[in-house]
């Protein structure tokens, strides 16, 4: 496991950086976490967890083991290993936006020194480490593979998944040179059970995209089939469950109101953008992206139609969105299709509220805003709304209570199986 005397800097203390820092502290590594969010840094240093599925006691144990957070990027010089875990979103034209990565490199490169290793974990296009990161190292007068090492090791965090942890999820690593790869393996094998080396940083960057594009394409297929089976008056969830009894050649993927999180809605567009450099048009990937992106509109249309059939005009109708995090049992709002659905409803003049046990107050977001707090699910509250829309199927919801008291349920997750006059599949 190594001596545990190394100092590791983690840049970006979010859903990737925090689990990584906690795990490294557990094995005795000294971890310095860097972020530009003053409140987040203050919370972590006060043993307050900013992420629901990490208890504050877990942060306290990491702090006792040597983890600290800071706003001072000059402390990069103290660190032997530098791990970048910042967001890589899309811009308004759905093209890669490496602004956070570049800003981080601008902040830390003045403090590069001999003997350091730099690892990027943020999702990006093949070639980023070579074309974006390494020039900063070279401008610092360092030789990659000799006195400074560069690797790419894509994050594989799955918030809320209790079956896998940072330690047990295999870690892919690609190095710019064989010496870089060896340095990466030496670090990551200290706190990850299984390390999977690949031939280059480009290969590792492509691995991350392939993992998430495969999922996006299969979900897009299920969403398209959901629309078709709905027209046929068939239950797509019944069909998926039955198909999954085949012991070979079929893997379950589920439809929904769209796709969310920082990976699946975004990663495919990193590859489609890069493909243009090689004169290729990735039609299959882009089609899946279009289908998934259109699903909130499908849920909207089903809701408007269901209201209209009951003599309720959309303008002024009261609708409750159930679940606004992007996936079950987490508080992560990134790219949540629930929020897009709420905005579409609002555009129609619908009065929208939400209920989410994991998000008590609608958070500050870069592109979306609702001045709302979560509505408690009681019989009285449910009965107030013309419709409730199940968007994220949290296990904390009392589905029997919802079924008994809601006037109309628009179900995008297949939780209300069977034939009910008040349930509309979406």
- CATH at residue 119: 3.40.50.720
- Give the pLDDT confidence score for residue 365 in this predicted structure: 79
In this structure, of 97-111, 132-146, 259-273, 401-415, the range with the lowest mean pLDDT score is: 259-273
Q: Is there a domain that residue 206 lies in? A: no
Same domain, 131 and 79: yes
Residue ending a domain, among 165, 199, 233, is: 199
| HSE, side-chain direction, 13 A CA sphere, residue 5 | 1
Same domain, 189 and 310: no
- Residue 71: which of 105, 34, 16 has the closest Cα? 34
Same domain, 251 and 369: yes
- Give the pLDDT confidence score for residue 369 in this predicted structure: 85
Same domain, 98 and 139: yes
Residue 319 has pLDDT above 70, yes or no: yes
Beta strand ranges found along 323-371 (DSSP E): 351-355
Residue 367 has pLDDT above 80, yes or no: no
Mean pLDDT of 260-277: 86
Cβ pair 145, 180 in contact under 8 A = yes
Same domain, 192 and 240: no
Residue 261 has pLDDT above 90, yes or no: no
Cβ pair 81, 11 in contact under 8 A = no
Same domain, 193 and 225: no
Mean pLDDT of 383-388: 98
Number of domains in the chain: 2
Q: Is there a domain that residue 214 lies in? A: no
Q: Is there a domain that residue 151 lies in? A: yes
- Of the two residues 120 and 365, the one the predictor is more confident about is 120
Q: Is there a domain that residue 81 lies in? A: yes
In this structure, of 52-61, 108-117, 363-372, the range with the lowest mean pLDDT score is: 363-372
Residue ending a domain, among 169, 199, 229, is: 199
Cβ pair 151, 176 in contact under 8 A = yes
- Residue 275: which of 209, 198, 343 has the closest Cα? 209
- Give the pLDDT confidence score for residue 52 in this predicted structure: 79
- Give the pLDDT confidence score for residue 174 in this predicted structure: 98
CA distance 142 to 113: 8
Structural domain including 397 reads: 219-425
Q: How confident is the model at residue 287 (pLDDT cuts 50, 70, 90)?
A: very high
Q: Is there a domain that residue 171 lies in? A: yes
Same domain, 169 and 255: no
CA distance 234 to 424: 12
Residue ending a domain, among 149, 170, 199, is: 199
Q: Is there a domain that residue 290 lies in? A: yes
- Of the two residues 132 and 54, the one the predictor is more confident about is 132
In this structure, of 98-107, 182-191, 257-266, 374-383, the range with the lowest mean pLDDT score is: 257-266
Same domain, 184 and 229: no
- Give the pLDDT confidence score for residue 93 in this predicted structure: 79
Q: Is there a domain that residue 1 lies in? A: no
In this structure, of 52-61, 116-125, 241-250, the range with the lowest mean pLDDT score is: 52-61
- Give the pLDDT confidence score for residue 162 in this predicted structure: 81
Q: Residues with Cβ < 8 Å from 35, sequence gap 6 or more?
A: 11, 12, 13, 17, 41, 69, 71
- Residue 76: which of 110, 44, 48 has the closest Cα? 110
Residue 187 has pLDDT above 70, yes or no: yes
Same domain, 277 and 187: no
Same domain, 265 and 363: yes
Residue 3 has pLDDT above 80, yes or no: no
Is 263 one of the annotated active-site residues of the chain? yes
Q: How confident is the model at residue 2 (pLDDT cuts 50, 70, 90)?
A: very low
CA distance 330 to 312: 33
- Give the pLDDT confidence score for residue 294 in this predicted structure: 96
Q: Is 339 left (phi over 0), alpha (psi -120 to 50) or beta?
A: alpha
Residue 1 has pLDDT above 50, yes or no: no
Same domain, 66 and 186: yes
Same domain, 402 and 320: yes
Residue 4 has pLDDT above 60, yes or no: no
Strand order of the β-sheet with 7-11 is: 67-70, 30-34, 7-11, 81-84, 117-120, 149-152, 171-175, 195-198
Q: In whole numbers, what is the pLDDT of the chain averaged over residues?
A: 94
Q: Is there a domain that residue 207 lies in? A: no
Distances (CA, A) of 47 to 4, 40, 44, 60: 23, 11, 5, 5
- Give the pLDDT confidence score for residue 159 in this predicted structure: 75
Distances (CA, A) of 244 to 239, 247, 258, 288: 9, 7, 22, 22
């Amino acid at each position: 496991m190594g001596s545990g005397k190394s100092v590791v800097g983690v840049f970006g203390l979010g859903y990737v950086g925090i689990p990584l820092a906690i795990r490294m502290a557990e094995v005795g590594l000294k971890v310095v976490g860097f972020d530009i969010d003053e409140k987040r840094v203050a919370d972590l240093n006060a043993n307050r967890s900013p992420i629901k599925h990490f208890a504050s006691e877990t942060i306290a144990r990491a702090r006792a083991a040597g983890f600290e957070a800071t706003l001072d990027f000059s402390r990069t010089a103290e660190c032997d290993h530098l791990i970048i875990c910042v967001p890589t979103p899309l811009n308004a034209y759905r093209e890669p936006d490496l602004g956070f990565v570049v800003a981080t490199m601008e902040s830390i490169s003045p403090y590069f020194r001999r003997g350091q290793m730099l690892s990027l974990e943020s999702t990006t296009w093949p070639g980023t480490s070579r074309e974006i990161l390494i020039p900063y190292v070279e401008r610092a007068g360092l030789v990659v593979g000799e006195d400074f090492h560069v690797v790419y090791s894509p994050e594989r965090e799955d918030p809320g998944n209790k079956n896998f942890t940072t330690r047990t999820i295999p870690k892919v690593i690609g190095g710019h040179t064989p010496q870089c790869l060896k340095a990466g393996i030496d670090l990551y094998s200290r706190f990850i059970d299984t390390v999977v080396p690949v031939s280059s940083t480009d290969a590792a960057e492509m691995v991350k995209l392939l993992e998430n594009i495969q999922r996006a394409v299969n979900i897009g297929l299920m969403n398209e089939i959901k629309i078709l089976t709905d027209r046929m008056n068939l239950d797509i969830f019944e069909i998926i469950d039955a198909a999954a009894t085949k012991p070979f050649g079929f893997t379950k993927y589920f439809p929904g109101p769209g796709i969310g999180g920082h990976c699946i809605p975004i990663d495919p567009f990193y590859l489609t953008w890069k493909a243009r450099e090689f004169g290729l048009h990735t039609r299959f990937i882009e089609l899946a992206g279009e289908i998934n992106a259109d699903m909130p509109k499908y849920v909207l249309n089903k809701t408007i139609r269901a209201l209209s059939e009951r003599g309720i005009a959309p303008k002024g109708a009261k609708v409750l969105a159930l679940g606004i995090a992007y996936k079950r049992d987490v508080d992560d709002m990134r790219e949540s299709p629930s929020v897009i659905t709420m905005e579409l409803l609002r555009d129609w003049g619908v009065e929208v509220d939400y209920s989410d046990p994991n998000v008590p107050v609608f958070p500050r977001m870069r592109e979306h805003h609702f001045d709302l707090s979560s509505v408690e699910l009681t019989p009285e509250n449910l009965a107030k709304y013309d419709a409730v829309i199940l968007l994220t199927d949290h296990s904390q919801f009392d589905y029997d209570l919802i079924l008994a008291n809601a006037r109309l349920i628009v179900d995008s997750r297949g939780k209300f199986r069977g034939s009910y006059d008040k349930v509309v599949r979406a």
